[in-house]
Amino acid sequence: MPRCRVNLSTMIFLVILQGAAVVLFCGWYVQLSPCGSAPSHGKVHVLLLSSWRSGSSFLGQVFSQHQSVFYLMEPGWHVWTTLQRPGARALRMAVRDLLRSTFHCDFSTMEAYLPQQHNVSNLFMWSHSRALCSPPACPLTPRTHFSNQTACQLQCSTRGLGGAQRACNTYSHVVLKEVRFFELESLYPLLQDPGLDLRIVHLVRDPRAVMRSREESSKSFTSDSAIVLEQRNVSTADVQYQVMQEICRSHVRIKERALQKPPPFLEGRYKLVRYEDLARNPLDEIGSIYDFVGLEMTSTLKEWIYKVTHGKGKGTKKEAFKITSRNAVDVSQAWRTSLPHSKVRRVQDVCRGAMSMLGYRPVNSDKEQKKLDIDLLVPREPYRFSWLPTKTEPPKIKP
């Protein structure tokens, strides 16, 4: 065998040269795509950012039932209920950090908010997550099937979060639904985390419909409302309106931040969805949301979506946190016949800016409100295509 003769200093020189090349290449490459620390391995992280009673349970299920998705509802609920005293501003970093570790399938942060002896069933609305009812978390539901919450609740709660963590690691998409953000800035570190490939789906809904829905189950919002209002002393009659005002302001803040001069790491990573568009045209809207996050639409999902958006009934108190078959268009119009005009006017007052920005027309009389053939939805601006920079196709470097 021929022997390779290289003297020591040549060797050292070559090693240093190679090291320098790697450092230079990484430094240059990091601007195009993450290089070095924990890349996302093609995993996509989706934050379904919404507000209470805005149809996010429904859109959450659209993700949850997809076979490529590990879904959890409102990790932030655990933070808000464990650390109740302060206001939303003080808690948002804790919620942000919980989201970050959960996106990374690390449940140790979550455990800090659970009782010492905990089961999967301690996770908020855990049985709404199809992934927690499927292998490897639970043998009950094959991954390609739709889950049954009742059956899952009976059979799938195991001790500890090990099963959830193992399951999370086997999916290409981790989707978290959250209603506890009122701005985007605190999420910037997640958007810049090279280990995350974050997409934000921002779901909004007509504030008058949100108001009607909140009134139906106002008791369940007492504690959350106090946190939204930073524990201010607000008279009971005013609480709902002030909370609505905060929510509406947050819509404006978030949309403006994301679509007008966004920082470079936010470009193409934000999609605004109106609940009403979703209700009127579920297949097209959901198709476009799936495209945005890189999920495939299947024929069984199409059938399921049709079924759950074309059921009967306007929704009742019992269904506060449930998703059942209801006629989505009826649900989105229900406020017009059931919310008194005086309340509608007050909501319109506190939400004027957000309504005009999001395309919800105000009504000026009780008659106009109840005349359902007057369409109050302003057609959306033509869909803005903003392709995500792909890993193989570096984005154009601006001169």
The contact set with ligand NAG (CB under 6 A) reads: 119, 121, 148, 150-151, 159, 233
* Least distance from ligand NAG to the Cβ atom of residue 311, Å: 12
Residue type, 289: I
Nearer to ligand NAG (CB atom), residue 153 or residue 338:
153
Nearer to ligand NAG (CB atom), residue 131 or residue 203:
131
Short-list 168, 173, 76, CA closest to 125: 76
Three-class SS state of 273: strand
Count of CB atoms situated within 10 Å of the CB of 105: 17
User: Are 68 and 173 within 8 A, CB to CB?
Assistant: yes
* Residue linked to tokens 């995993």: 43
Nearer to ligand NAG (CB atom), residue 141 or residue 213:
141
* Least distance from ligand NAG to the Cβ atom of residue 150, Å: 4
Nearer to ligand NAG (CB atom), residue 242 or residue 348:
242
* Least distance from ligand NAG to the Cβ atom of residue 159, Å: 5
* Least distance from ligand NAG to the Cβ atom of residue 92, Å: 24
Nearer to ligand NAG (CB atom), residue 233 or residue 392:
233
C-alpha angle 164-201-189 in degrees, rounded to nearest 5: 75
Nearer to ligand NAG (CB atom), residue 147 or residue 333:
147
Distance CA(14)–CA(10), nearest Å, equals 6
Question: Please, how many CA atoms are within 13 Å of residue 115, restricted to the half-sphere of its CB?
Answer: 8
* Least distance from ligand NAG to the Cβ atom of residue 76, Å: 21
Sign of CA dihedral 240, 243, 247, 249: positive
Nearer to ligand NAG (CB atom), residue 155 or residue 217:
155
Cross-strand bridge partners of residue 327: 310
* Least distance from ligand NAG to the Cβ atom of residue 63, Å: 20
Distance CA(17)–CA(313), nearest Å, equals 71
User: Are 160 and 114 within 8 A, CB to CB?
Assistant: no
* Segments in 48-107 forming alpha helices (H): 56-64, 76-82, 88-103
* Least distance from ligand NAG to the Cβ atom of residue 158, Å: 6
